[in-house]
Each structure stands twice: as C-alpha cells, then as structure tokens.
C-alpha cells in the first residue's frame, strides 16, 4: 500500500503540483489523501480539484489559538487516513498539537540553505544580503521554526543583479526537484534521524544538476525520475 500523505498549502501550490506530477508518473510511491488550505480561493485548491484530490479549507482566523487550529487540522488529516503531513508552502507556524500527532512524519520546505534566513521572505532576505550561493532545504518539522533535521538541500548561484523574484524563481526549480524526492524517501521508510543528522538509506552521492544555464549542487543526489 502506498504511503498516504496530506499536503498543507497556503497559496499557489506549485510544490503540491510537483508532488502530484511525480505520483502520476509512477516514480513517487505515495498517495495524497487530502489537500488542506488555510486560505480559500487559492490556486493550490484548483490544482487539487483538477486532479480529483479531496480537499478542504480550514481558515486559521476562525480559531482562537494556534493549538485549536492545529487540532482541527489533526482531525481532518486523521479522518483522511494520512500517515504523514507535507507542508508545501503552508504559511503557518505549527504547534506540538500537530507535531505530536504525526511525530517523525512531517516534512517542510524552506527556500534557503538552512540554517540561514529562517522565517518568511527568505529569498528576499538572501538577495538583500547579497549572498553568492542560495538554495532550498527539506527538513523534518520540530517545535522550532525552520529548524528540524535536514534531509536534502540544493544550492544554486546567486547573482549580483538578483532580486527576490529572480533568485526565487531559480530556487523554485530546485524545490520542485528535491521535495518529491524527500517525500519518496519518507514514503519508503528510508530516513533515519540520529540527533540532527538524517541518514538516507541507499541515497545517491551529492551531484550537480543543471537548471536552465546554471549548475546546482544537490546533496544527497537525486534518483532517476526526480
């Protein structure tokens, strides 16, 4: 039986789409049981509907606390039968209510090379800081924001003329490559957390891939189809 995931979004859902595409291509061994947005009318919900995926809108503003909101999330996710939770552009800080309900089975994506530039607008922070290298990270979720053990990272050159949009678009291409890969490893039970180190069983060695005309380093490397 395929590993069952709920995907949480707040916006366009481009990483949701990347996951859907790999599942439909038969390379990602998972099944989406539910897509949840904390905002109505976002494009990510259109993507879910287009692919005949169950979806729900749970507006955080309707709950008196983060814990109450997360309790509502836990209820619908468990009702969907999901084993794990994928935060794909979910712009909410989650609490132990959600974390403990799916301990060791919650992944998040962050558009920086962690631990740099935590929080919102990481691409803007990186461009304004004039970094020379930027990228993205997939990590397990713990009780600190953008902090949990890192599974896979990808690095791309940052150019002197970059702004938030240009750097962010380059990073986004990498996000769409490494996020489905990390979900696949989770689904296959190939991730082992040892302190802050995540061991990926039988992972490919670090490798250089190309996005447009730019080389990008991915560690661990990507498997075929990702």
Residue 125 has φ and ψ, to the nearest 5°, of -60, -45
Smallest CA-to-CA distance from 151 within 118, 105, 117 is with 105
Whether residue 218 contacts residue 209, with contact meaning beta carbons closer than 8 Å, is answered with: yes
Tokens of 50: 């287009």
Q: Residue 123 CA to chain centroid, in angstroms?
A: 15
| Annotated catalytic residue 210 | no
Question: How far apart, in whole angstroms, are the C-alpha atoms of residue 68 and residue 156?
Answer: 39
Tokens of 150: 């890192």
Tokens of 88: 């794909």
Q: First CA to last CA across the chain, in angstroms?
A: 21
Which of these is catalytic: 60, 110, 139, 176? Answer: 110
Q: Active-site residues: which are they?
A: 110
């Amino acid at each position: 039986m395929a590993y069952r995931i709920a995907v949480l979004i707040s916006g366009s859902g481009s990483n949701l789409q990347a996951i859907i595409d790999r599942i439909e291509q038969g390379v990602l061994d998972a099944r989406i049981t539910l897509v949840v947005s904390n905002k109505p009318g976002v494009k990510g919900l259109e993507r879910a509907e287009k692919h005949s995926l169950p979806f729900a809108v749970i507006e955080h503003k309707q709950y008196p606390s983060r814990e109450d909101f997360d309790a509502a999330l836990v209820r619908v996710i468990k009702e969907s039968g999901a084993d794990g939770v994928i935060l794909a552009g979910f712009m909410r800080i989650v609490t132990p209510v959600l974390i403990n309900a799916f301990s060791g089975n919650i992944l998040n994506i962050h558009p920086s090379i962690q631990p740099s530039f935590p929080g919102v607008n990481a691409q803007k922070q990186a461009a304004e800081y004039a970094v020379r290298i930027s990228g993205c990270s997939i990590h397990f979720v713990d009780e600190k924001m953008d902090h949990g053990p890192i599974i896979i990272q990808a690095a791309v050159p940052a150019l002197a003329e970059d702004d938030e949009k240009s750097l962010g678009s380059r990073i986004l291409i990498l996000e769409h490559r490494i996020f489905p890969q990390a979900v696949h490893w989770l689904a296959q039970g190939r991730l082992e957390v040892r302190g802050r180190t995540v061991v990926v069983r039988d992972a490919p060695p670090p490798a250089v891939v190309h996005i447009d005309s730019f080389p990008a380093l991915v560690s661990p490397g990507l498997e075929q189809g990702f």
